[in-house]
Structure 1
Amino acid sequence: MAQDISLGEDDKWLAPIADSLRALAKDVRFNFHALPISQGASLHGTLCKEKYRKIFSEDVLKFETTVTGKHFDTFFFAESCIQKSEKMAAELFGANGTLFITAGTTAANQIALNALYKNGHKVLLDRNCHQSLHFSLNMLRAEVSYLTPNWSCHATGMRAWDVDALLANCLAAQESGAGFDLIILNAHSYDGLVHSIPRVLAHLLNNGVKTRNFLIDEAWGAANYFCDILSEHAALNIEELQESHPDLNIVVTHSSHKSLSCLRQASMVHYRGDGSVLEKLRISRFRLHTTSPSYPILASLDLARAQMQAEGWELRKEARHLAESFKHEIITNPQFQSLSIDLPMVPRSAASHVIHDPTKIPLNTERLAISTEEIKDYLFLHHGIYVNRITEKSMLLNFHIGITKEATVALLAALSDLLHQEGMSAQAVTSTDYIIPYPPGVPLIVPGDQITAETHREIDNIRKRGILVFNA
């Protein structure tokens, strides 16, 4: 659970890295080290300058610099603004320590794994974890057993595992003399299923599991620490458990840009446990992270932490409110009767430790005559609304803290327009023309034929194959 840090009004938005970079941008006039683009120096008098300016703005380039050491700080051996910001992040998320990563969560996962894994370790890996963990263990030639989800939702693609199956797996391995040295679990799926890691760990440790090193892939869950429903289930909320199991070590990776106000590739690695874990993480980061960390990404991590510290609970509350209002409109407004909300029906065996994120809305569209792929394209091409995840029957709507009331109203209006157009096309009309795919040049429709919704779908499918369809 995110800590309630009391700050004075002057300190409410304290951002050590961002503030230091602003000061640094005023001090540096010329840089004889590297990074020609710093402050836009290499663009003066070039034809590219205007395009750069339109994408990055001159202000952004001021903060792309290579100054290190006493004039700013050193990423790998921080003693100043970076160290202070990482400590503030650790305190906010309830960790014993936090490291910032500017090379993406693939690198964060590799760093965390490298710190916890030793040659010969036996590892239990949740199959729902990010591919980077699978690939890294494969390259390490680790002895891996898999935790396989035993429940899935066909409509949304959501999958979850049963904590008792996990417990049985762990105990069976111990009884065979090959207990797991490291257990790697996914805490929050892309689809919005949250495994309550505090409850899961308590169930394992209180029932005889001897493993004490856990790596938690909580990529999508950084904002959960500020949600009244999900914060108690966040992976770092294990203070009471550590009191009864002081030898417990847990490392958590956050793909911070997925749910906080960060630039892409902004990530954090948190840990709770003994001090040796932090030292191992620092060494691992030194070995695996790029030696050219992005200062804009660092600043965005710093500012995102400051924002959530100052108003994280309010931001998440508003996101949840917008999600609920959207869901209410879909359920109660007659014009949306052909749509529905596919909330997962989690089985009783998993209900104690699996929770659905209320800001992830699976919208069921299977009663429409067009596919989810076509709906996705329509929303983007005609309304500028982007949706990423679709299945055969539904599309996932993520009401993150960047979704506004204006965006929610626009989405509802776009869906209303889509349904109106589909209603119009569903009405059969009599053709007065020939409709001919070419090649082969054989009429699909001749004058007098009825053009139905099925006809439109057939024409769309023909065009997708690259065949020209024209009226004559």
Structure 2
Amino acid sequence: MWTTAQRRRLTETPYADALDRHAGAGIASFHALPIGSLAHAPDGDDSALAERTRRLFGSYLATELTLGSPELDSFFRAHRQLARSRRLTAEAFGADDTQYVTTGTTGANQVALEALRVAGARVLVDRSVHQSIHFALDRLGADVLYAPTSPTDTEHGVITALREAKAAGVEVDVVVVGVSAYDGSLVQMRRFLGALQELTAESGCRVLVDEAWTAIHAFHPWLRRLTAIHAIRETLAEHPDWPASFLVTHSTHKSMLALRQGSYLHVIGPDTLKATVRAALYRVHTTSPSLPVLASLDIARAHAVAEGTALVERALAQADRLRELARRVPWLAEHRPVATTSAYLADPMKVHLDLGTPERAQEVRAALFDEYGIFVSRQDGSTLLFTMHVGVTPEQVDLLVEALESVCCLDAPECSCGDERYIIAYPPGIPLQVPGEQLSAPPSRRAGEELYSTF
């Protein structure tokens, strides 16, 4: 994907290097309290809680600086090491510009919607996007149209809704779509963008693409072709006069070597959009960004360029091992919730195992954690979801295979949460109900029949 010279440049970590130099300098700060000062306290010179803090956070403390330094750059007006780091990341992904966000993709989505100026605009939304988008659109006063959620063999729900809106003479200003779901559902981006271009060839559109779960795909030769930015580039090359602009968010820590709360916000569009994003970042983002998170976003890109292909290949091989287990164990089966169609396909790094019954799945999930130290985040009925990220090792899969073959049955609780207008289960934070929808009453039952709650 890159020449030797490009690879050498893209594996530089200018911001992380600068932070590393400052972290070891023992600088006395008379600004806000730097928790990193605890890292330099002499033994016995402070409380037991301070000592516990050092044991818990270790060398991380030294990087938690409250320091303004020309080398560390300005977060909102970066022009040195942070600016260079962002440019390298934009180049690695193929974006025109990339901003770093230290308040998670929840924050990145809010910045993006501010930049797209959705207040008062008609916004067509894929209703399965993350709750942060729903709440931000509500807060900003957007005129929201929700697209149907049921995928078809031929067309994404957003395209169906856009086609219907155009036929009815309703103009859509902004399109918001989630293209890599928690459960492994991926949107066929080239087909999606081809249809979007056809419907907005003259009017253009502003698009927010939430690609939370698959940032690492950009660093694997085959999976890269499925990513949003790659598809956007190909579509714009075929239709250079299409007046569309794009923002793409990545929840970086979900698939790359970044600290939690680290997120990329990529821009594909004119300089005016870049400036609007920078202004929105200034309005929305905390003025106290985490320097360790910024450094981790720098390192994550370098690590992915250097080792991403090999690590994704390893993860795919481990996913195949789990699928092979499902084929040979009688009470286990692979469940494929996403069929490959012209609109959707399944992420090969996600494996769904069907345990037969919800009770069995619940018991296995609890036993995996209690007895083997294996965490499975999601249970959907009788199915457990295993994400084969690049941090999963063959040894961990060895343990998982052993556990699944011999696990005993225990109980495990479940929980969900919501508010008065949205019903949202977490994970993954996707609304089951959005404003304007009503839950149907259950069908009438004869006296004595047991009633079950929908949620």
Q: Aligning the two structures, in what range does the TM-score lie when normalised by the shorter sequence? A: 0.7 to 0.9
Q: 1:70 Cα deviation (Å)?
A: 1.4
Q: Which residue, out of 305, 321, 324, partners 1:325?
A: 321
Q: 1:50 Cα deviation (Å)?
A: 2.6
Distance 1:172 1:127, change over 3 A: same
- Structure 1 portions without partners, runs of 5+: 152-159, 423-472
Q: Which residue, out of 332, 336, 357, partners 1:343?
A: 336
CA deviations 1:109-168 (Å, max 9, x no partner) are 0000000024331100001100011011111221111112114xxxxxxxx795265334
Partner AA of 1:387 in structure 2: V
Partner AA of 2:292 in structure 1: P
For 1:29 and 1:161, the matched residues in 2 are separated by 61
Q: 1:28 Cα deviation (Å)?
A: 4.0
The answer to whether 1:197 aligns with 2:189 is: yes
2:235 maps to 241
Q: 1:254 Cα deviation (Å)?
A: 0.5
* Conservation of the 8 A alpha-carbon contact between 1:339 and 1:367: no
For 1:343 and 1:405, the matched residues in 2 are separated by 23
1:388 maps to 377
Q: 1:84 Cα deviation (Å)?
A: 0.6
1:55 maps to 56
2:168 maps to 176
* Conservation of the 8 A alpha-carbon contact between 1:123 and 1:142: yes
* Conservation of the 8 A alpha-carbon contact between 1:253 and 1:270: yes
SS in 2 for 1:390: strand
1:135 maps to 135
1:167 maps to 159
2:208 maps to 215
Distance 1:87 1:319, change over 3 A: same
* Conservation of the 8 A alpha-carbon contact between 1:148 and 1:161: no
SS in 2 for 1:371: helix
Partner AA of 1:7 in structure 2: A
For 1:319 and 1:166, the matched residues in 2 are separated by 31
Cα root mean square deviation, aligned? 2.1
Partner AA of 1:192 in structure 2: G
* Conservation of the 8 A alpha-carbon contact between 2:209 and 2:247: yes
CA deviations 1:67-113 (Å, max 9, x no partner) are 22414211111111110111010000110000000111111000000
Q: 1:197 Cα deviation (Å)?
A: 2.3
SS in 2 for 1:183: strand
Q: 1:169 Cα deviation (Å)?
A: 2.1
2:289 maps to 293
Could you say which structure has the larger radius of gyration?
A: 1
CA deviations 1:313-345 (Å, max 9, x no partner) are 11111110111122113213xxx2110000235
For 1:9 and 1:119, the matched residues in 2 are separated by 41
Q: Which residue, out of 36, 39, 44, partners 1:38?
A: 36
SS in 2 for 1:291: coil
- Structure 2 portions without partners, runs of 5+: 410-455
For 1:239 and 1:359, the matched residues in 2 are separated by 24
2:225 maps to 232
* Conservation of the 8 A alpha-carbon contact between 2:71 and 2:80: no
Alignment of 1:232-381 (within 5 A): 232-237=225-230, 238-243=232-237, 244-246=239-241, 247-332=243-328, 336-344=329-337, 346=339, 351-366=341-356, 370-381=359-370
Q: Percent identity?
A: 33
Q: Which residue, out of 178, 182, 188, partners 1:186?
A: 178
* Conservation of the 8 A alpha-carbon contact between 1:182 and 1:211: no
1:67 maps to 67
CA deviations 1:2-59 (Å, max 9, x no partner) are x5253388757411111001111233431111123123169642111331122111x2
After alignment, is 220-229 or 305-314 more displaced? 220-229
* Conservation of the 8 A alpha-carbon contact between 1:187 and 1:221: no
CA deviations 1:173-209 (Å, max 9, x no partner) are 2343321100000110000010022320112212556
2:18 maps to 20
SS in 2 for 1:268: strand
For 2:71 and 2:300, the matched residues in 1 are separated by 23
* Conservation of the 8 A alpha-carbon contact between 2:26 and 2:40: no
2:443 maps to none
Normalised TM-score (structure 2): 0.84
1:95 maps to 95
After alignment, is 39-48 or 139-148 more displaced? 39-48
For 1:295 and 1:161, the matched residues in 2 are separated by 45
SS in 1 for 2:266: strand
